[in-house]
Chains A and B, each alone.
Chain A
Amino acid sequence: MYDRNVCEAHALRVREHILAMSTDGGCFTGASLSCADLLVYLYTSYLNVRPDNLSDPDRDILLLSKGHDVPALYGTFAELGILEPGRLANHLDCNDHIYWHPNRAVPGVEFHSGSLGHLLSVGMGMALSIHLEQRQSRVVVILGDGELNEGSIWEACQVAHSLHLDNLLAIVDRNWFQANMPTEELSPLEPLDEKFRAFGWNVLRVDGHDFDALHSVLPDLPLRNGAPTVLIADTMRGKGVPSIEARADRWFCNFSHDEVRQLTEELHGTSSATLVSPTLTVR
Chain B
Amino acid sequence: MNRYELLLRDRCAIDPRIMVLTAENRGHMRSVPPLLGDRFVDVGIAEQTMIGMAAGLAARGRVVVVHALAAFLTLRAFEFIRDDVAIPNLPVIMVGMVPGVLSDGNGPTHQAIDDVGLMRAMPNVGVFCPADEEEYVEGMAELFDNPRPCYVRYIGSQAAYRREHRTTLQRGIVLSDDRECCPDVALLTYGAMVPHVLEAVQQLEQTGVSVRVVHLPMIDPLDETVIIEALHDAAVTVVVEDHLIRSGLYSVVCEIAIRHRIHASLHPIGLSTWFAAGRLPQVLRMNGLDGASIAHRVTEILNDEATIQRTSNGESHAS
* Complex Cα spacing A158 to B46, Å: 9
Residue of B nearest to A162 (CB): B44
* Complex Cα spacing A122 to B52, Å: 4
Does A132 sit within 8 A of B, measured CB to CB?
A: yes
Cβ–Cβ contact B49 & A121, under 8 A:
yes
Cβ–Cβ contact B84 & A118, under 8 A:
yes
- Pick the contact of A130: B58, B60, B79 (CB < 8 A): B60
B41: A residues at CB distance < 8 A: 128, 163
B80: A residues at CB distance < 8 A: 118, 121, 152
Cβ–Cβ contact B88 & A124, under 8 A:
no
Cβ–Cβ contact A128 & B39, under 8 A:
no
* Complex Cα spacing A82 to B54, Å: 27
* Complex Cα spacing A162 to B55, Å: 19
A126: B residues at CB distance < 8 A: 56-57, 59-60
* Complex Cα spacing A126 to B59, Å: 7
* Complex Cα spacing A124 to B21, Å: 13
Q: B44, B52, B55 — which one has the most chain A CB atoms within 10 A of its CB?
A: B52
Does A125 sit within 8 A of B, measured CB to CB?
A: yes
* Complex Cα spacing A116 to B84, Å: 12
Does B148 sit within 8 A of A, measured CB to CB?
A: no
List CB contacts (< 8 Å) of A125-150 with chain B.
125-130, 132-133
Known interface pairs A112-B87, A121-B56. Does A155 touch B39 (Cβ–Cβ under 8 Å)?
Answer: no
List CB contacts (< 8 Å) of B1-47 with chain A.
19, 38-39, 41, 43-44, 46
- Give the number of chain A interface residues (Cβ < 8 Å): 30
Cβ–Cβ contact B79 & A115, under 8 A:
yes
Cβ–Cβ contact A111 & B60, under 8 A:
no
* Complex Cα spacing A163 to B50, Å: 12
Residue of A nearest to B53 (CB): A125
Shortest beta-carbon distance from A266 to chain B in Å: 37
Cβ–Cβ contact A159 & B46, under 8 A:
yes
- Pick the contact of A128: B48, B51, B53, B84 (CB < 8 A): B53
Cβ–Cβ contact B57 & A128, under 8 A:
yes
Residue of A nearest to B87 (CB): A112
Cβ–Cβ contact B46 & A125, under 8 A:
no
Residue of A nearest to B58 (CB): A125
Known interface pairs A132-B38, A158-B46. Does A125 touch B55 (Cβ–Cβ under 8 Å)?
Answer: yes
Does A120 sit within 8 A of B, measured CB to CB?
A: yes
Does A156 sit within 8 A of B, measured CB to CB?
A: yes
* Complex Cα spacing A130 to B80, Å: 22
List CB contacts (< 8 Å) of A62-107 with chain B.
104
Does B305 sit within 8 A of A, measured CB to CB?
A: no
Cβ–Cβ contact A155 & B59, under 8 A:
no
Shortest beta-carbon distance from A260 to chain B in Å: 32
- Pick the contact of A121: B39, B52, B61 (CB < 8 A): B52
* Complex Cα spacing A22 to B314, Å: 73
Does A242 sit within 8 A of B, measured CB to CB?
A: no
B62: A residues at CB distance < 8 A: 129
* Complex Cα spacing A127 to B60, Å: 9
Give me the interface of B with A, judged by CB distance under 8 Å: 19, 38-39, 41, 43-44, 46, 48-62, 79-80, 83-84, 87-88
Give me the interface of A with B, judged by CB distance under 8 Å: 57, 104, 110-112, 114-115, 117-130, 132-133, 152, 155-156, 158-159, 162-163
A–B complex contacts, Cβ < 8 Å, 20 sampled: A57-B60, A111-B56, A115-B79, A118-B83, A118-B84, A120-B52, A121-B49, A121-B52, A125-B52, A125-B56, A125-B60, A128-B41, A128-B56, A129-B61, A152-B52, A155-B48, A156-B46, A159-B43, A159-B46, A159-B53
